Amino acid sequence: MKATFEQNDALIIVDVQNDFCPGGKLALDEGDEVVPVINALSAQAQEAGIPVFVSRDWHPRHHVSFDERGGPWPEHCVQDTKGAEFHPDLILPENARLVSKGARFDIDQYSAFDKTGLVSELVHLNIKRVWVVGLALEVCVKATALDATKNDYETFLVEEGTRFIDRADAEKAREELREAGVIFK
């Protein structure tokens, strides 16, 4: 996929972490298949001088989203564990900006925009458009793309750079994203 990056664009890579890839605690069957696509987009962004933001789930042990605490998910992406690390084949620019979410044990965050300071950074850089890729389409990718549109960013979602957990939920997410004005590439 060749992106048509413009001067005021940013690439947002969402949660390409070991626990969301095959063998992880909350694995998507084909989660690792996004890595080559994202690596290519990241290289294109770097060549074009476009900032790259990379979000991660960064949960403390006993996080509110974990099923042990009544949440919907098994334990995953616990701080300083192998599962929380980015996929080993993911190539990020040295100047990629890290966005951590879910770091407080009592608050769940799906969007890279949710209380992370991302909006301030994008405003500071005069970003007008964002390209979103990563895992999982119907959860954190959707939340990030929707928040981007709510913050008045023209938002592109690169479909081959994302995967889903559940096909039916992914279809609903695509519909909701299109209705919100997200442009699929």
User: 1 in a domain, yes or no?
Assistant: no
pLDDT tens digits along 120-130: 999 999 999 99
Count: domains in the chain = 1
CATH code of the domain containing 32 = 3.40.50.850
User: 38 in a domain, yes or no?
Assistant: yes
Rounded average pLDDT over 159-164 = 97
pTM score:
0.97
pLDDT tens digits along 16-63: 999 999 999 999 999 999 999 999 999 999 999 999 999 999 999 999
pLDDT tens digits along 63-117: 999 999 998 999 999 999 999 999 999 999 999 999 999 998 888 899 999 999 9
pLDDT at 89: 99
Reported for 23-28, long-range contacts at CB under 8 A and 24+ positions apart, including other chains, are: 24/76, 24/83, 25/74, 25/75, 25/76, 25/83, 26/73, 26/74, 26/76, 26/77, 28/135, 28/136, 28/163, 28/164, 28/165
pLDDT at 104: 87
Rounded average pLDDT over 1-22 = 95
Residue 3 has pLDDT above 90, yes or no: no
What is the CB-side half-sphere exposure of residue 174 using CA atoms within 13 A? 13
Tokens representing 58 are: 């960064």
Cβ atoms of 185 and 26 within 8 Å: the answer is: no
User: 3 in a domain, yes or no?
Assistant: no
User: 101 in a domain, yes or no?
Assistant: yes
- Residues with catalytic function: 15, 101, 140
User: 4 in a domain, yes or no?
Assistant: no
Residue 1 has pLDDT above 80, yes or no: no
User: 14 in a domain, yes or no?
Assistant: yes
Residue 132 has pLDDT above 80, yes or no: yes
Domain that holds residue 28: 9-184
Residue 2 has pLDDT above 90, yes or no: no
User: 172 in a domain, yes or no?
Assistant: yes
